[in-house]
Amino acid sequence: MSRSCDGLCIGGAARYGLLAVTIETIVSHMTTPPTSAKPYTIDEMISAKAIAARVESLAREISEHFADTEKLVVVGLLRGSFIFIADLVRELDLPVEVDFLEVSSYGNSTESSREVRILKDLRGEIEGRDLLVVEDIVDTGRTLSHVLDILGTRHPKRVEVCALLDKPSRREVEVKARWIGFEIPDRFVVGYGIDYAQRNRNLPHIGAVRFL
């Protein structure tokens, strides 16, 4: 397939003249949003077409990288990666097993509660296996870093990470995904599986939340 990416490539989202970060963006990072949720609108940041084109090229690179694998265990981090993983695995030209891991997020809570707990563990054994961890967004990097620590204790053969979105300006912990779909500015985003207060996961594109 030769789907164009509408001129939007890695890092291209930053060129869309998006508004600077607001205090509301920071508030919206909380796991439990305020009960009196403020009205907001969603500005399209990455089109469905651009996502599809990028997923296709990521899958090509991943398939080449793991070409010699006996079987690749694709580990989706719930819930934000569910649409991304569904699209990505269908483009992988490899023998694949799909598994899911759900960990607690910490939102903007205090340092002491900044541990990541497993809410839903993998079903399969990963010792000696090739793993691809699929994440929706790498923000501070804390979730991914903890997940990699947890998975590392189970002695997989190889572990690589593919993240749909990366917000490098927010990083607090040094962690790197080998494959990144799009680098984005510090905006709170929704759609293509990603939520704000459990809403907007079903948007076909990625959009930035803007409070009215």
Is residue 80 a contact point for Mg ion (CB under 5 A)? yes
Is residue 105 a contact point for ligand IMP (CB under 6 A)? yes
Binding mask of the shown chain, residues 38 to 77, with x at each position contacting Mg ion by CB under 5 A: ----------------------------------------
Number of residues that bind Mg ion (CB under 5 A): 2
Which span sits near ligand IMP by CB under 6 A: 14-22, 39-47, 120-128, 130-138? 130-138
Say if residues 126 and 156 touch (Cβ distance below 8 Å).
Answer: yes
Q: H or E stretch including 64?
A: helix 48-65
Prior bond of 79 cis (ω within 30°): yes
Number of residues that bind ligand IMP (CB under 6 A): 15
121 among known catalytic residues: no
Binding partner at 130 among Mg ion, ligand IMP, none, C-beta below 5 to 8 Å by kind: none
| Dihedral in degrees, nearest 10, Cα atoms 160, 166, 168, 169 | -160
Half-sphere exposure of 27 (CA within 13 A, CB side): 13
Out of 66, 100, 182, 188, point to the residue binding ligand IMP (CB under 6 A). Answer: 188
Residue list 115-144, contact with Mg ion (CB under 5 A): 136
Contacts of 149 (CB under 8 A, 6+ apart): none
Residue 93 vs 121, nearer CB to ligand IMP: 121
Catalytic residue among 130, 136, 139, 166: 139
Burial pattern 107-130, b for ≥16 Cβ within 10 A else e, equals eeeeeeeeebeeeeebeeebeebb
Binding mask of the shown chain, residues 142 to 171, with x at each position contacting ligand IMP by CB under 6 A: xxx---------------------------
CA angle 34, 37, 43 (to 5 degrees): 120
Residues in touch with Mg ion (CB under 5 A):
80, 136
